[in-house]
Amino acid sequence: MIKNPTVEMTDEKHLPQANVPFDQIAKDLVRTTTHGGKTIRRVSIILGVLSIVGIVALIVKLITQRDDSTQWGYVAALVSFLLTVGGGAPMVAIAPVLAKANWVRPITRISAIFSLTGIATLIMTIPLLVVLPPLVVDGTRRRSIWFEGPNFSPHVWDYIGILGLIITGLALFYTAAIPDFAVMRDHTTGWRKRVGRILSRGWIGSNSQWRTLRMRIGMFGTFYFLILIFVHFLFSSDFAMGIVPGWRDAIFPMYHSITSLQGGLAAVIASLWFIRRYFKLEKYIHIDQFWSLSRLLFATTLLWIYFFYSAFIVFWYGRGGADKAWIDLLVRGSKEGIGPMGWVFIFAGIFIFIAPWWWLIWNSVRRSINGPIIAASLILIGIMLDRVRIFVTAWSVPTEHIHDKYLMIIPQTSLPSGLDIMIIIGGICIGLLPILVISRVIPVVSIWEMQQFNLLSKPVKYMKTHGVLVAKPD
Amino acid sequence: MEYWSLNPTSLKVMQQKRNLSQIHTNKTLLNGQLNTPKWWAPTVLILGIAVVIGLSAIGVMVNKGLGVTGLSRPVYWGLFITTFVFWVGISHAGIMISAILRLTQAEWRRPVTRAAELLTVFSLLTALAFPLIHAGRPWRIIYYIIPYDFARGIYPNIRSPLIWDPVAIGTYLTGSTLFLYIALIPDLGNLRDRTTGWQNAFYTILALGWRGNPRQWKMQTVGGILLSALMLPIFVSVHSIVSWDFAIIPSVEGWHSTIFAPYFVIGAVHSGVSAVVTMMALMRWLWKWDDFIRPEHFDALARLLIVVATAWLGFTFLELLFAVYGLDAPELALREMQLFQWPWNFLFIIFMLTAYIIPVTMWLFKKVRTNIALMFWTSILVNIGMWLERFMIIVPGLARKQPFVFTWEAYRPSGLEWLILVWSFAWVTFLMLLFSRFFPLVPLFEQKESQVFTDDVKIGRASVPAIIREID
């Protein structure tokens, strides 16, 4: 049995540091809630203003273009993007936690915080529900996953699904944050102390409280995963496939979900890089987190091409009318040559797959702090382009063609209007603002997770090599 | 402040150190090679007879033609192709267990890897035999691959999945064999040092001068990791390509679905890992490897299977849902036939019960997961279900009456087909037992490495199992 296995190593790749006192961890991380006050306030104001501009633009669009569903593709793409990135990010923490991976501990909080972007998703979905055609159009029932269901089934159930996802995400975030609210209660003064006292709900760290906490995290994590897949299934079917005649693509909901994991990973890597740098958390966020995350990012990048190709090859070989229409609409963007959406597809492919794949294939890139952020940024841009490709083309199909066997004419590509641009920028700002605000209330790196991390994971010297001794309590 | 619960049952976790001496490990795990068990020879003899009977049945079929099977218009793909897909599915066990769990550094993989890799190799060999058998005149298969009539412009269609199939499976077989062999080298060195006479000469050649110096260990480890990473895309491509044999054909209802590739892959993992469970139980019982193949390993595999099976169920649901989503009359008629018409409805119920409902419901309970007999039987149930799944995918779409098809018959596999199916199981088991006579089924070096990499750490008053992870 190893009694005191730790050795001192200062090189960042051999972190975590040995024997850092619990109080020191608490102090260091509580400090992040007050760090960079003025800058954060300025950025928050800018985000707030842009958010308001976005909401105003959304209202104006709803008033002026309510009757023309073909104009709503960019809003649908934005909602899908927010759902993809914001919805997928909490999964980054959940899956490794369920698998008892130790490296994930510094990441759990920032991943869970992304569930707050759900506020933006909820707001932006409302006008989409207004313009989404009911199940019975011109007296005839259209194809949908709801078959003979009530006329507004997609409208009701999709919103309930998104709401459920956000509530579960917030419950997960809050549950895992309770011990840290208690730390805020005990280590801060003023309004932070008051908030900590209220939200910590009498946390004293008793055995039963820890047991309950572990159980709740596992429960909410599992629920979140199931609801996330379900919401992606609903959203992709109702807001894309269902409004394009002849588009029958069983893999598409899974494609949508897989890109959500990819987008979530990219968002977490980007935010981790940001908080490490600007909140001075080099001591707590190490190369190991970037290394592990970028391996997962690499895997999901390969999954993107696999899921896309699995659909593409079936349509390509099928050569039926509906098969060809799918390729013309969603890949080429035109019946002849390459249309504007064809170019969007090409750039999406480069950003989501080709460039990150080539970049992340190198271990030296994955095993670095600055390497993964480049891939993550490319992927986030690529996912936005991919969502534009899918949703703008899907929504550009006029409602009068909804009952056709398949699409005979590829509709004109609609370019984004000024309102669309304002809504997209505003929507992303609404997503980011709560994250920034919450970083003032609670540390962006979980204190209790870091304390456990340091307790259970020790750098050791083994023979001539360095290693980490990872204790794994059941 | 207590951060984790430590009760007596939780002590039996995967990482917990078990002090097994190297002598004990060698003696126990080499008992198949150095002290052949009494049951081995009679079992191999019985299986050998079964193999000969099966081969004779194949010979009869080649001699008489496909008329001795139940295959007839319009069902030309039946039991043989179903069994081909089934064995390709089983072959996914090796890479799932060995490569993926190796790359993710799952400690509990160690006693299982060799058997899983072996199952991959032998099931692929068996799978490859079925398209040959199915062809009726196996020698004509060559025309699929080699251009044979330039003068009349008749070429094999290289864009056809029927060409990709042997290429992908051949690559997978080559890679898997290399993977198996590289992981076997240290144990071959061990056997070389413990044998005399022809056996010593045999192991000396195969051990490739293994002495276990640091350079050789490094190369062996790097080789394993590199092959793991290289094999993963092949692993995915193999069953994807098999699925495209069906999915790219729009004329058969139930086949032209975009989800087939990942659906087949996840189904393959489900059946492959279940087959590994079956094998592990047999290995533990037959060779008495209770110290090495423990209930915790079954527990871990069952947890993995719950996740895999549920993902597979999700894909099944999507496949069914989007089949009827289009509201096309022929597709609806097929699904109605599959779900509500005799005997397909009966087969469908058996398939769902055996592939998911019964086993997964049972695996939710830890008592079942750690009960080896129950794990053995549930894993067999899964593979009955997964065989039926392939049958339900392939046959009904062909068997349903199409417009302008005026001769059709219900497909009823002949006794000869069933005999060849049984032969395939006897053949794989026969090969495994033959292998076990000469090579260890549990990697010795992995067991010993596990002893070094696991430890206990004292944290506060608790003693917590721990693993050493290299980071250099």
* Residue B152: predicted pLDDT: 65
| Segment B273-282, tens digit of pLDDT | 999 999 999 9
pLDDT interval class at B19 (50, 70, 90): confident
Confidence of residue A2 (pLDDT cuts 50, 70, 90): very low
A255, B34, B181, B193, B218 from B201: Cα distances, Å: 54, 15, 17, 10, 26
Q: Which chain B positions have a beta carbon within 8 Å of A302's beta carbon?
A: 233
Q: If residue B469 lies in a helix (H) or strand (E), which one and from where to where?
A: strand B462-470
Nearest to B273 by CA among B237, B233, B309, B246: B309
What pLDDT shows up at residue A17? 61
Shortest CB distance from B326 goes to which of A143, A311, A319?
Answer: A143
CB < 8 Å from A in window 14-33 of B: 15
Query: What pLDDT is recorded for position B9?
Result: 39
**Closest-approach residue (CA) in chain A for B261:** A310
Residue B6 has pLDDT above 50, yes or no: no
Q: What is the DSSP string of B254-277?
A: TT--TTHHHHHHHHHHHHHHHHHH
Over the stretch B361-396, which tens digit does the pLDDT of each residue have?
A: 999 999 999 999 999 999 999 999 999 999 999 999
Chain B residues with beta carbon closer than 8 angstroms to that of A214: 4-5
Tell me the chain B residues in contact with residue A314 when contact means C-beta distances shorter than 8 Å: 244, 247-248, 256-258, 260
Nearest by Cα to B328 from A409, A129, A26, A245: A245
Residue A21 is predicted with a pLDDT of 81
- pLDDT tens, residue by residue, A364-404: 999 999 999 999 999 999 999 999 999 999 999 988 888 88
- What is the rounded average pLDDT for all residues in chain B? 87
A3 has pLDDT over 70: no
pLDDT of residue B145: 66
Task: State the pLDDT confidence band at B174, using cuts at 50, 70 and 90.
Answer: very high
- pLDDT digit string, tens, across residues A319-336: 888 999 999 999 998 888
* Range in A133-137, A467-471, B420-424 with the lowest mean pLDDT: A467-471
Read off the pLDDT of each residue in B51-66 and give the average, rounded to a whole number: 94
CB atoms inside a 10 Å sphere around CB A207: 11
What's the pLDDT tens digit per position in A300-318? 999 999 999 999 999 999 8
- The residue among B125 and B151 whose pLDDT is bigger is B125
* pLDDT over 90 at A98, yes or no: no
Alpha-carbon span B244 to B456, nearest angstrom: 49
What residues 208-247 of chain B have any CB closer than 8 A to a CB of chain A? 233, 236, 240, 244, 247
Q: A462 or A170, which is more confident? A: A170
Higher pLDDT among residues B148 and B340, named by residue: B340
- In 3D, which of A150, A94, A134, A323 has the Cα closest to residue A238? A134
Residues of A in contact with B233 (CB under 8 A): 302
* Shortest alpha-carbon distance between residue A195 and chain B (Å): 23
CB contact under 8 A, A306 and B236: yes
Chain A residues whose CB is inside 8 A of the B465 CB are 471-473
At A16, the pLDDT band (50, 70, 90 cuts) reads: low
CA distance B83 to chain A (A): 23
pLDDT (tens digit per residue) in B237-249:
999 999 998 998 8
Q: Does B99 touch chain A (CB under 8 A)?
A: no
C-beta atoms of B470 and A470 within 8 A: no
pLDDT at B10: 39
Q: What is the pLDDT of residue A40?
A: 85
| Model pLDDT for residues B420-457, shown as the tens digit of each residue | 999 999 999 999 999 999 999 998 888 888 877 887 77
- Is A473 within 8 Å of B240 when comparing Cβ atoms? no
Q: Residue B5: its pLDDT value, please?
A: 34
A260-283 per-residue burial string, b: 16 or more CB within 10 A, e: under 16: bbbbbbbbbbbbbbebbeebebeb
Identify the closest residue of chain A to B250 by CA–CA distance. Answer: A318
**What distance in Å separates the CA atoms of residue A287 and residue A328, rounded to the nearest whole number?**
44
Question: Residue B151: pLDDT band by 50, 70, 90 thresholds?
Answer: low
Give the percent of chain A with pLDDT over 70.
96
Query: Which residues of chain B does A452 touch, with a Cβ-Cβ cutoff of 8 Å?
Result: 3
In sequence order, what are the residues at sequence separation of 6 or more whose Cβ sits closer than 8 angstroms to the Cβ of residue A215?
none
Give the least confident one: A20-34, B16-30, B192-206, B312-326. Answer: B16-30
Q: How many angstroms separate the CA of residue B66 from the nearest CA in chain A? A: 30
Contact A471 B464 (CB under 8 A): yes
In chain B, which residue's Cα lies nearest the Cα of A206? Answer: B1
**Do A159 and A239 form a contact (C-beta atoms < 8 A)?**
no
Residue A465 clears pLDDT 90, i.e. is over it = no
Cβ-Cβ contacts under 8 Å, B468 against chain A: 460, 462, 467-470
C-alpha–C-alpha distance, residues B356 and B363, integer Å: 10
Residue A43 has pLDDT above 60, yes or no: yes
Q: Cβ contact (<8 Å) for A473 and B323?
A: no
Residues pairing with B470 in the sheet = A467
Mutant choice from A11, A251, A308 vs B, greatest count of B C-beta within 10 A: A251
At residue A287, the 3 state secondary structure works out as helix
- Which of B109, B457, B467 is the best residue to mutate to test the A interface, defined by the most A CB atoms within 10 Å of its own CB? B457
Report the sign of the C-alpha dihedral through residues A304, A305, A311, A315, in that order: positive
Instruction: Enumerate the residues of chain A whose CB falls inside 8 A of the CB of residue B469.
Output: 467-470
pLDDT over 90 (residue A433): yes
Residue that wins the pLDDT comparison between B141 and B30:
B30
* Amino acid occupying residue A30: V
pLDDT at B4 > cutoff 60: no
Residue A463 clears pLDDT 80, i.e. is over it:
no
Phi-psi region of A198 (alpha: psi -120 to 50; beta: other; left: phi over 0): alpha
Q: What is the ipTM of this complex?
A: 0.89
- What is the per-residue pLDDT for A309? 95
Q: How confident is the model at residue B404 (pLDDT cuts 50, 70, 90)?
A: confident
Mean pLDDT along residues A50-59: 95
CA closest to A233 among chain B residues = B318
Q: Give the mean model confidence (pLDDT) for residues A126-141.
A: 90
**Residue in A closest to B233 by C-alpha:** A302
Task: Give the per-residue pLDDT at B415.
Answer: 93
Binning pLDDT at 50, 70 and 90, where does residue B3 land? very low
Here the contacts of A198-201 (C-beta below 8 Å, separation 24 or greater) are A199/A174
Question: For residues A284 and A445, is the Cβ–Cβ distance under 8 A?
Answer: yes
pTM of this prediction? 0.90
Output DSSP code: residue B466. E
B3 in reach of chain A (CB within 8 A): yes
Domains and CATH numbers, chain B: 38-146+155-467 (1.20.1630.10)
Q: Regarding beta strands A457-462 and A136-137, do their DSSP bridges make them parallel or antiparallel, or are they unpaired?
A: unpaired
Closest by Cβ to A469, choosing from B240, B259, B455: B455
For the cut 80, the answer to whether the pLDDT of residue A243 exceeds it is: yes
